[in-house]
């Protein structure tokens, strides 16, 4: 692309290495350890604990390696803070597993399943291209419904960084040419919602519950996340491309270390409103799904214990609520 084009979120200045490239080998080791613990647990959960413990240690290193990508490249408060917090939490999880908290094997299994769903999209170029271009086309269609006629052009290839060896002819970039310098908004893998979908799918499929109920909850979760993600991309693309959120430019530029005022709309809508809003929505969705699938509380209780150090009994409350509101249906198992 021409140097006159303004593209959000792709500045890699100041880094002497690519955090994503460094983290990818670690990702495979983590996935192997987590799935290995799942396999071993079929025979003896006590033997699965040390395998899972190694996996959690590697998971801490993975987040440590990836943190610069979110902090320095993406300049994301939510993702950057999350990656930093994930390091001690992963180490603490491994410590608790090693010392006998076997309920954490469910969380380990959930992350293993999440990896099985997410990693193919991350590592297989044609598969990644398909989902990126589908989301791009659907966001473009939504734009036409509200009166805009977007121009979609070939954009960046992988993780928002245009590297020749990884370049694919993706039709994934919205071009807004009505400004002094054209503005582009590129749909990359992180914009497709597959990350959030894989997290929820991993949790739902990892718990022990009737398959019919798990699949019903999974369909609901995937549908809600996918639709909300399309709306999120629609809002970010239009707000940034049309410069509709140029609020407090001086303060925002100072906060994120920006040198171009045209990026203010992007950072307000995406890095602040959309990302913090997504956290709130996903927490609310988790609460709703636990009402339909109380078995998920095993994972949530462990997560709350990791963060607060306090034991919670959410399962009893949700199971009681379900039994009072939903009579048993024959054949649900």
Rounded CA-CA distance 253/72 in Å is: 14
Q: Among 128-142, 195-209, 243-257, 316-330, name the one with the lowest average pLDDT.
A: 316-330
Query: Does position 206 have pLDDT exceeding 90, yes or no?
Result: yes
The mean pLDDT of the chain is: 84
Question: What is the reported pLDDT for 315?
Answer: 66
**Helix/strand/coil for 74:** coil
Rounded CA-CA distance 45/294 in Å is: 23
φ/ψ of 178, rounded to 5, equals -85, 5
- The number of beta carbons lying within 10 Å of the beta carbon of residue 43 is 9
Supply 73's token pair. Answer: 């490249």
Residue 117 CA neighbour count, 13 Å, CB half: 21
Cβ within 8 Å of residue 315, ≥6 positions away: 294, 295, 297, 298, 301
Question: What is the reported pLDDT for 11?
Answer: 43
pLDDT, mean of residues 83-97: 94
pTM, whole model, 2 decimals? 0.82
Between residues 313 and 120, which one has the greater pLDDT? 120
Question: What is the reported pLDDT for 158?
Answer: 44
pLDDT in tens, 317-331: 666 655 555 444 444
Question: What is the reported pLDDT for 31?
Answer: 92
Cβ within 8 Å of residue 197, ≥6 positions away: 117, 221, 222, 225, 226
Find, among 285, 290, 243, 296, the residue nearest to 268 by Cα. Answer: 243
Per-residue pLDDT band at 13 (split at 50, 70, 90): very low
**Helix/strand/coil for 14:** coil
Q: Which residues are catalytic?
A: 191, 232
Question: What is the reported pLDDT for 331?
Answer: 44
């Amino acid at each position: 692309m021409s140097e006159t084009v303004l593209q959000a979120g792709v500045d890699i200045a100041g880094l002497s290495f690519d955090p994503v490239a460094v983290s990818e080998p670690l990702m495979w080791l983590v996935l192997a350890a987590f799935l290995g613990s799942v396999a071993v647990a079929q025979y003896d959960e006590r033997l699965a604990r040390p395998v899972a413990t190694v996996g959690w240690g590697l998971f801490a290193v993975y987040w440590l390696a990836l943190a610069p990508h979110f902090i320095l490249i993406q300049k994301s408060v939510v993702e950057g803070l999350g990656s930093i917090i994930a390091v001690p939490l992963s180490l603490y999880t491994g410590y608790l597993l090693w010392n006998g908290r076997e309920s954490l094997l469910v969380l380990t299994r959930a992350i293993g399943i999440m990896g099985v769903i997410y990693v193919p999209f991350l590592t297989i170029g044609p598969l990644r291209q398909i989902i990126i271009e589908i989301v791009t086309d659907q966001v473009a269609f939504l734009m036409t419904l509200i009166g805009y006629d977007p121009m979609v052009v070939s954009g960046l290839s992988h993780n928002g960084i245009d590297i020749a060896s990884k370049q694919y002819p993706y039709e994934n970039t919205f071009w807004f040419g009505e400004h002094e310098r054209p503005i582009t908004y590129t749909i990359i893998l992180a914009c497709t919602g597959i990350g959030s979908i894989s997290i929820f799918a991993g949790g739902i499929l990892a718990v022990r519950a009737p398959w019919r109920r798990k699949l019903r909850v999974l369909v609901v979760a995937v549908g809600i996340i996918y639709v909300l993600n399309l709306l999120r991309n629609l809002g970010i693309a239009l707000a940034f491309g049309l410069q509709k959120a140029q609020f407090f430019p001086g303060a925002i530029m100072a906060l994120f270390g920006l040198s171009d005022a045209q990026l203010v709309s992007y950072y307000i809508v995406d890095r602040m409103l959309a990302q913090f809003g997504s956290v709130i929505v996903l927490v609310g969705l988790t609460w709703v799904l636990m009402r339909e699938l109380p078995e998920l509380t095993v994972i949530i209780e462990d997560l709350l214990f990791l963060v607060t150090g306090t034991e919670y009994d959410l399962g009893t409350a949700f199971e009681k609520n379900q039994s009072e509101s939903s009579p048993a249906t024959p054949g649900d198992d």
